[in-house]
Amino acid sequence: MGERIVVLGGGIIGLATAFECQRRGYKVTILEKVTCGGQASGAAAGMLAPYSEIEEDPDDFFRLCLASLKLYPKWQQEVKDIAKAEFEYTNSGSLHCVYHEADLLSLESRQQWQGDFGAEADILQGEELYKREPELSKEIIAAMYYPEESHVFAPDYVKALEQACRNIGVQIYEQLEQVDVVNWEEEIHLVAKDGQSFTGDRLVICSGAWASELEGTFGLSIPVHPIRGQICAYDMPVGKVKHILYSSQGYLVPKGNGTLVNGASEDIAGFNTTVTERGIRRLTNWNKNVLPYLANEIPFHEWAGLRPATQDGYPLIGKLSTAPHVIFATGHYRNGILLSPVTAHIVADLLEGQRDRVPLQMFAPERFS
C-alpha cells in the first residue's frame, strides 16, 4: 500500500477514481490540463438512467451501468460526508414516452428483458400516466415508468467530489495546459508544459474525449472521439414536472433548483464546444411534444460538452496486458456520470488485484489494436 497513483484527467472519472483509490490507502495525484470538471462532466444532465439509455439487448455494458446505479445511494452520501458539501441526488423515477401503438411492442420487450435483470418497470397509459405527470402531452400514448432512475446535479457533484478528494489528501494539479507521458514502460513519468515533473508507480488514464492523443505514446489504437452534446435549461416552478422524461428525440430533467434541463444533440464538431442556433432549435422544436407548456417558454441557458465516444460505444476500462501498471478508464460516452462509482471501484479493485466485480473483457483497452 502507499503506492503512488497518477491520474491523468480531472473529469468525473478521474475524480471518482482518485477518491476511491486514496480511500483505499494509495497516494493519488490528479493532473488536469484545465480545470477539474470543466469538460463533459460539468456539462452533463446528470441522469442515472441505464434502463432508458440502453435500448439494445442486455450485455455486460448494461450490467456495468446497473451495478453503478446500485452503488449510487451509498456512494453519493460518502462523497457528501467527506466533502462536507451537498449536491442534488433525486430519486425522481423516469417516464420513457412513446407516441405510436407500434412502439408499445418495443416497450413490452424492454419491460420483459429488463425485468429479467430485476428492473421495476410499469407501462402506464391514459389516466394513470397523466395522474403521475399532469403536464405531459396527450399525444403520448404510453410510457414506461422506471422508479429506480434518478439524477444528480452534475456541476455540484463534480465540485463535491473534487472537495472530497482534497479533504482526504489527493494532490490536484490544474491549469497544466499540456501533460505528456514521457515514460510508462517501467516507471511512470509525466511532464507538464511548464516543465513540472510527476512520477508514480501506476498510471490511470482518465482523459475523456482526448484519450486518442495517447495513441502514439502507447502504440495502441485508441478510437475515442468527441461527440458534442448541446443542451439547454428553462426556469420552471419546482414540482411542475416530477420525473425524468425520456423519448427517442431527447430528454427533460426537472432539477430541484427550479430548472428544467433539456438535452441533447449528438453532433460531430471536433473539440468545439460552442452552441449553435440549429442545435438548440432542434431541442426547442421537439420538447413541446412532451411538455406542451414549453411552446411559450424560452431557455435561459444553453451550453455544450464533449462526450468521449468510442468506436464500439463501450468504455475502455482495464489494465494494459503489456504494462499492467497502466490502467485505462475512459470513453464513457453518454453515461460517465452514472458510471463514475463503478469505474472508481473497478480501478481500485484492479490496483489491489481483486477479482472483477463485473466481466471486463468487452472493455479491454487493447481491443482495437
Q: Judged by CB, which is closer to ligand FAD: 142, or 206?
A: 206
Q: Is 207 in the site for ligand FAD (CB under 6 A)?
A: yes
Rounded-to-integer distance, Cα 192 and Cα 281, Å? 40
Q: Is 254 in the site for ligand FAD (CB under 6 A)?
A: no
Given ligand GLY, ligand FAD, none, residue 290, with its beta carbon under 5 to 8 Å by kind, binds: none
Q: Is 209 in the site for ligand GLY (CB under 6 A)?
A: no
Q: Is 243 in the site for ligand FAD (CB under 6 A)?
A: no
Q: Is 76 in the site for ligand FAD (CB under 6 A)?
A: no
Strand partners of residue 326:
203
Q: Is 23 in the site for ligand GLY (CB under 6 A)?
A: no
Rounded-to-integer distance, Cα 215 and Cα 198, Å? 20
Q: Mask 283-322, x = binds ligand GLY (CB under 6 A)?
A: ------------------------x---------------
Among 28-36, 82-90, 99-107, 119-127, which window interacts with ligand FAD (CB under 6 A)?
Answer: 28-36
Q: Among 5, 6, 7, 13, indicate the residue that binds ligand FAD (CB under 6 A).
A: 13
Task: Name the residue number minimizing CB distance to ligand FAD.
Answer: 11
**Cα-based distances in Å from 1 to 5, 28, 129, 345, 353:** 11, 12, 53, 16, 12
**How many residues bind ligand GLY, per CB under 6 A?**
8
Q: Is 182 in the site for ligand FAD (CB under 6 A)?
A: no
**How many residues bind ligand FAD, per CB under 6 A?**
42
Q: What is the 3-state secondary structure (H, E, C) of the chain?
A: CCCEEEEECCCHHHHHHHHHHHHCCCEEEEECCCCCCCCHHHHCCCEECHHHHCCCCCCHHHHHHHHHHHHHHHHHHHHHHHHCCCCCEECCCEEEEECCHHHHHHHHHHHHHHHHCCCCCEEECHHHHHHHCCCCCCCCCEEEEECCCEEECHHHHHHHHHHHHHHCCCEEECCCCCEEEEECCCCEEEEECCCCEEEECEEEECCHHHHHHHHHHHCCCCCEEEEEEEEEEEECCCCCCCCEEEECCEEEEEECCCEEEEECCCECECECCCCCHHHHHHHHHHHCCCCHHHHHCCCCEEEEEEEEEECCCCCEEEECCCCCCEEEEECCCCCHHHHHHHHHHHHHHHHHCCCCCCCCHHHCCCCCC
Q: Is 254 in the site for ligand GLY (CB under 6 A)?
A: no
Q: Is 229 in the site for ligand GLY (CB under 6 A)?
A: yes
Q: Is 46 in the site for ligand FAD (CB under 6 A)?
A: yes
Among 76-84, 139-147, 200-208, 346-354, which window interacts with ligand FAD (CB under 6 A)?
Answer: 200-208
Rounded-to-integer distance, Cα 41 and Cα 206, Å? 12
Beta carbon of residue 199, minimum distance to ligand GLY (angstroms, whole number): 36
Q: Is 210 in the site for ligand FAD (CB under 6 A)?
A: yes
**Cell numbers given for 55:** 435500448
Beta carbon of residue 138, minimum distance to ligand FAD (angstroms, whole number): 27
Residues 333-352 that bind ligand FAD (CB under 6 A): 333-338
Q: Is 66 in the site for ligand FAD (CB under 6 A)?
A: no
Q: Judged by CB, which is closer to ligand GLY: 307, or 345?
A: 307
Among 43-51, 162-170, 285-293, 346-354, which window interacts with ligand FAD (CB under 6 A)?
Answer: 43-51
Q: Is 338 exposed, middle or buried (0-12, 13-18, 19+ CB in 10 A)?
A: buried
Q: Mask 32-51, x = binds ligand GLY (CB under 6 A)?
A: -------------x-x----
**Cell numbers given for 285:** 422544436
Beta carbon of residue 125, minimum distance to ligand FAD (angstroms, whole number): 26
Applying CB under 6 A, the residues found at the interface with ligand GLY are: 45, 47, 53, 229, 263-264, 307, 334
> Which residues lie near ligand FAD (CB under 6 A)?
8-14, 31-34, 38-41, 43-47, 176, 179, 206-210, 229, 231, 263-264, 305, 307-308, 330, 332-338
